[in-house]
Structure 1
Amino acid sequence: MAHVLSPNVLIRKLQNISDLTQSDIAILEGIPLSKRECRANEDIVREGERPTHSFVVLEGLVGSTKLTGDGKRQITSFFVPGDIPDLHGMHLSVLDCTFSSLARASLGFMRHDAMRAICDRHASIAAIFWRSTLIDAAIYREWVTNVGRRDAYTRMAHILCELIVRLHSMGVIKDHVANLPVTQAALADALGLSTVHVNRVLQELRRNGLIFTEGTRFHAVDWAGLVRAGDFDATYLHQRTAITF
């Protein structure tokens, strides 16, 4: 069943990265979408598919993934509420990666033909979507640097800083405390580490007084220390308002 997009996380996300006029907001709110609930670890769209929709994450956590020939998984980005992970699929005939829910997720699917028609009529909306995909590309570049040139301890601190900033901008985090239902296996696949190594690094971050975890509850106890440990600079997220804690 199709619904009309009401004021929601998509509007907030785009306001974080672009100047939206009231006209822009009204147009975005008018985009019809179909809602879908996903279990954890469920493929949403798969590599090789020819999608007719793009989706926005309404709740939960989604990852873009690639598999090697021998079945090893690399997570190439995390997507939080407000993100449109496969927006580029509107212009590519076939997907070159798989998008999977990493936790229970609520998604809203938007038809490509409707989105293209809106972009054709409204240059400002096309520019907003273009900016969003450029920022996704900036995040990919930072992840390549993280996995390729930082040690395991710094990698982990960096990815935690990124998640905190992105979730904070969406109002999901307060006082450095969040529910992060991401498994150690997913962190391992995102950071190019084994799950055993992930566990050791998380323990080291705890021992150093930077983080506290209890189940899926995550607390950045020493935010400044975590930023230093992660060699983290949020510039690549291109958010309009700097995050201050």
Structure 2
Amino acid sequence: MIPTSATPTIHTPAAPSTGGHPLHPIVRKLSAYLPLDAEEQAALTGLSAGGQRVEGRHDLLVEGAVPDSAVLVLEGIACRYRHRPSGSRQITGFLVPGDLCDPDFAHLGRINHGVGTLGACRVARIPREVLADLVERHPGLARALRCAKLAEEETTREWVMNLGCRSAVERVAHLLCELHERLRIVGWATKGGYDLALTQQDLADTTGLSNVHVNRVLRQLRLMGLVEVGGRRVDILDLPGLQAVAEFQADYLRPAAG
């Protein structure tokens, strides 16, 4: 089964490309909302300049901080989270390659959550003035970033539905489907599966289940012939079956542009 604790390394798939040129994850992500021209794609790719490797289990932003830049995930997986005084943690969102964390940070003041890496990541920090110049020069990118924000809000509502209405098996199945679709969009997953730099405890802290319960659910999904989770890898054995169990509809990840 998936390890209960570990700091996985980055597993980098072959870069997707068009015409022999690799596409940056954020280009692939925002292109799923709106078509982007070559100049807009180049501007997005330039955001990765100065990207740095960060080890797993490392805070990128701490609760109560006043951020001076947005964080762009280039490789790996990070999360937003909150801690209770007791020390228990709730993961409130995942950040995968191509995700720009809190691009509206200039309007936020102090943040009420933490942002940290789960596995080893490569990230770039985007200063306020760089983002402001980007959206001013490229209104199309401003619209695409707005769509990404709407998708993030829809995802939060879907997670509330997960925690409030779905069974343990449905919760975990839905999360695995969502991660598969998000990673597929940016070129980090195939129909057969994806690398998963999460521990069993991470899944528990996301789905509101105990570590032991997550273990049982993963075993049940395997026995159902739907998915095999282990060795920091998710192998999808029956994608339509997994989606049916989860009642997964990917529309919330691609809101229409207004």
Is the pair's TM-score, using the shorter chain for normalization, greater than 0.5? yes
Which of 185, 195, 207 aligns to 1:179? It is: 195
Partner of 1:140 in structure 2?
156
Task: Give the drift of 1:33.
Answer: 4.0
- The amino acid of 1:228's aligned partner reads A
Query: Which residues in structure 2 correspond to 1:84-99 (within 5 Å)?
Result: 84-99=100-115
Distance 2:104 2:81 in 1: 15
1:58 aligned onto 2:74:
yes
Partner of 1:100: 116
Q: How far apart are 1:31 and its partner, in Å?
A: 4.1
Q: Deviations over 1:114-157 (max 9, x none)?
A: 21133234322222222211111111111111111111110000
Maintained 8 Å contact 2:70/2:102: yes
Shift of 1:160: 0.3
- Compared CA separation, residues 191 and 23, structure 1 to 2 (3 A): same
Pick the aligned partner of 2:54 from 28, 34, 38: 38
Q: What is the alpha-carbon distance in structure 2 between the residues aligned to residue 189 and residue 201 of structure 1?
A: 14
Query: How far apart are 1:43 and its partner, in Å?
Result: 0.8
In structure 1, C-alpha distance between the alignment counterparts of 2:190 and 2:247, rounded to whole Å: 23
Q: In the TM superposition, what is the alpha-carbon distance from 1:96 to its structure 2 partner?
A: 2.1
Structure 2 unaligned blocks of 5 or more: 1-21
- Helix, strand or coil for the counterpart of 2:57? coil
Equivalent-residue separation in structure 2 for 1:147 and 1:81 (angstroms): 25
Question: Partner letter of residue 168 of structure 1?
Answer: R
Letter in 1 for 2:114: T
Matches within 5 A, 1:71-90: 71-90=87-106
Q: Which residue of 1 aligns with 2:5?
A: none
1:218 to partner: Cα distance: 1.5
Task: Give the Cα–Cα distance (whole angstroms) in 2 for the partners of residues 176 and 11 of structure 1.
Answer: 23
Q: In structure 2, what is the equivalent of residue 167 of structure 1?
A: 183
Distance (whole Å) between structure 1 residues aligned to residue 126 and residue 40 of structure 2: 17
**TM-score (ref. length: structure 1):** 0.89
State the TM-score, normalizing by the size of structure 2.
Answer: 0.85
Q: Residue 44 of structure 1: SS of its match in structure 2?
A: strand
Moved over 3 A (4+): 29-33
User: What is the number of residues matched between the two proteins?
Assistant: 235
1:26 aligns with 2:38: no
Higher relative CO (Cα under 8 Å, sequence separation at least 6) belongs to: 2
Distance in 2 (CA, whole Å) between partners of 1:30 and 1:210 is 40
Distance 2:174 2:208 in 1: 14
Partner residue in 2 for 1:120: 136
Moved more, 132-141 or 17-26: 17-26
Identity %: 34
Is 2:24 the partner of 1:8? yes
Structure 1 runs not aligned, ≥5 long: 1-5, 241-245
Q: Deviations over 1:61-119 (max 9, x none)?
A: 11110112322110011111111122232431222211111111110111111211332
- TM-align CA RMSD: 1.8
Rounded to whole Å, the distance in 1 between the matches of 2:240 and 2:145 is: 32
Please name the residue that 1:237 is paired with: 253
Distance between the aligned counterparts of 1:31 and 1:207, measured in 2? 44
